[in-house]
Amino acid sequence: MVSTIRENRSKFFKVKCPDCDNEQTIFEKASTVVKCVVCGRDLATPTGGKANLKAEIVQELQ
Protein backbone atom coordinates (compact mmCIF):
# COMPACT_ATOMS: atom_id res chain seq x y z
CA MET A 1 0.00 0.00 0.00
CA VAL A 2 1.30 3.44 -0.89
CA SER A 3 1.80 5.81 2.01
CA THR A 4 -0.23 9.01 1.78
CA ILE A 5 2.21 10.94 3.97
CA ARG A 6 5.27 12.06 2.04
CA GLU A 7 8.37 13.28 3.78
CA ASN A 8 10.25 16.31 2.57
CA ARG A 9 13.52 14.98 1.19
CA SER A 10 15.08 18.34 0.35
CA LYS A 11 17.04 20.47 2.80
CA PHE A 12 18.25 23.98 3.34
CA PHE A 13 21.83 24.60 4.46
CA LYS A 14 23.37 27.50 6.32
CA VAL A 15 26.75 27.96 4.64
CA LYS A 16 29.77 30.16 5.28
CA CYS A 17 31.47 32.00 2.43
CA PRO A 18 35.19 31.07 2.25
CA ASP A 19 36.18 34.64 1.30
CA CYS A 20 34.26 36.95 3.64
CA ASP A 21 32.86 34.53 6.31
CA ASN A 22 29.30 35.70 5.60
CA GLU A 23 26.68 33.09 6.54
CA GLN A 24 23.58 32.65 4.41
CA THR A 25 20.92 30.02 3.78
CA ILE A 26 20.78 28.15 0.46
CA PHE A 27 18.62 25.36 -0.94
CA GLU A 28 20.22 21.94 -1.39
CA LYS A 29 18.84 21.60 -4.94
CA ALA A 30 19.47 25.12 -6.21
CA SER A 31 18.56 25.52 -9.89
CA THR A 32 20.55 28.73 -10.40
CA VAL A 33 24.01 29.88 -9.36
CA VAL A 34 23.93 31.10 -5.74
CA LYS A 35 26.28 33.98 -5.00
CA CYS A 36 27.38 35.49 -1.68
CA VAL A 37 25.35 38.63 -1.03
CA VAL A 38 28.40 40.40 0.44
CA CYS A 39 31.33 39.64 -1.88
CA GLY A 40 29.67 37.97 -4.89
CA ARG A 41 31.58 34.66 -4.81
CA ASP A 42 29.77 31.57 -6.16
CA LEU A 43 28.56 29.43 -3.25
CA ALA A 44 26.62 26.81 -5.23
CA THR A 45 26.24 25.82 -8.87
CA PRO A 46 23.38 23.74 -10.30
CA THR A 47 24.03 20.21 -11.58
CA GLY A 48 20.52 19.04 -12.50
CA GLY A 49 19.91 17.53 -9.06
CA LYS A 50 21.70 18.50 -5.90
CA ALA A 51 23.76 21.66 -6.27
CA ASN A 52 27.55 21.57 -6.15
CA LEU A 53 28.37 23.45 -2.93
CA LYS A 54 31.57 25.51 -2.86
CA ALA A 55 31.13 26.77 0.68
CA GLU A 56 31.43 25.25 4.14
CA ILE A 57 28.18 23.88 5.56
CA VAL A 58 27.62 25.34 9.02
CA GLN A 59 24.20 23.88 9.79
CA GLU A 60 21.54 21.72 8.17
CA LEU A 61 18.07 23.28 8.50
CA GLN A 62 14.80 21.35 8.36
Q: What is the DSSP string of 15-57?
A: EE-TTT--EEEEETT-SS-EE-TTT--EEEE--SSS-EE-SEE
- The tens digit of pLDDT for each residue in 13-27 reads 999 999 999 999 999
Question: Domain for residue 37, yes or no?
Answer: yes
The pLDDT tens digits of the residues spanning 25-40 come to: 999 999 999 999 999 9
Is residue 3 assigned to a domain?
no
Domain assignment of residue 57, yes or no: yes
Comparing CA positions, the residue from 46, 50, 57, 45 lying closest to residue 18 is 57
Which domain range does residue 17 map to? 12-61
Evaluate whether residue 36 is within a structural domain.
Answer: yes
The CATH number for 34's domain is 2.20.25.100
Q: Provide the number of structural domains found in the chain.
A: 1
Nearest CA-CA partner of 34 in 46, 49, 22: 46
Measured CA to CA, the distance from residue 24 to residue 8 in angstroms comes to 21
